[in-house]
Amino acid sequence: MLDIDYTALTNWPVILANDFGRFPAGPCLLPEGPCGWHAWDLRGQDAPIEPTLQVFQTARSLGITVFFISGRPESERAATERNLKAAGYAGYEQAFFTPNGAHFASLADFKAPTRQKIAAMGYSIIANMGDQMSDLDGGFSEKTFKLPNPSTTFPDTALLNSEGDTIKARQTLI
């Protein structure tokens, strides 16, 4: 189970163009900015996060089924799925997107029931990776892996697995 933004794909160009701000609407005027997030996502130009891509490719080579769950709206599905495939994530089972116009107190309120639905389909979710706790909270996975996010995590922050064990001691910012 993989999150998309800052887990599978990086949004670093839009973060830099917006000087670490977030503008949901508006055109994307790169490289100078500003760049609206929706317009950026529709471009489908996010680069892969290489260690996550390696995990994905290893999982697929071992016959493990991979799903994506994203906070992106359903209206961005086509562009995001093209982007995932172009970035090397071909062969996943299904991607889940939030319903258009939906609002949640926390994305965990969307992601946990989605994992429950996948489990009800007969899948065992052996690992769940994301950069926000809302990607991981709510259960329905055997192990969780919280990844650092360079726009919200400071250097030297430890990467922890679901048992609280340190699995990476340093983070390098781009």
Check which CATH number belongs to the domain holding 68 and give it. 3.40.50.1000
Residue 14 lies in a domain: no
Split into its structural domains, the chain has a count of 1
pLDDT bucket at 156, cuts 50 / 70 / 90: very low
pLDDT of 153 reads 57
% of the chain beyond a pLDDT of 70: 86
Residue 33 lies in a domain: no
Is the pLDDT at 172 greater than 50? The verdict is no
- Give Rg (Cα) of the chain: 16
Side chain identity, residue 78: A
pLDDT digits (tens, 9 = 90+) for 13-65: 888 888 888 888 999 888 888 899 999 999 999 999 999 999 999 999 999 99
Residue 39 lies in a domain: no
Residue 151 lies in a domain: yes
pLDDT of 22 reads 83
Residue 15 lies in a domain: no
pLDDT of 51 reads 96
Query: Domain range spanning residue 93?
Result: 46-168
pLDDT of 19 reads 86
- From the list 159, 147, 155, the residue with the least C-alpha distance to 6 is 147
Residue 41 lies in a domain: no
Q: How far apart are CA 71 and CA 110, in angstroms?
A: 8
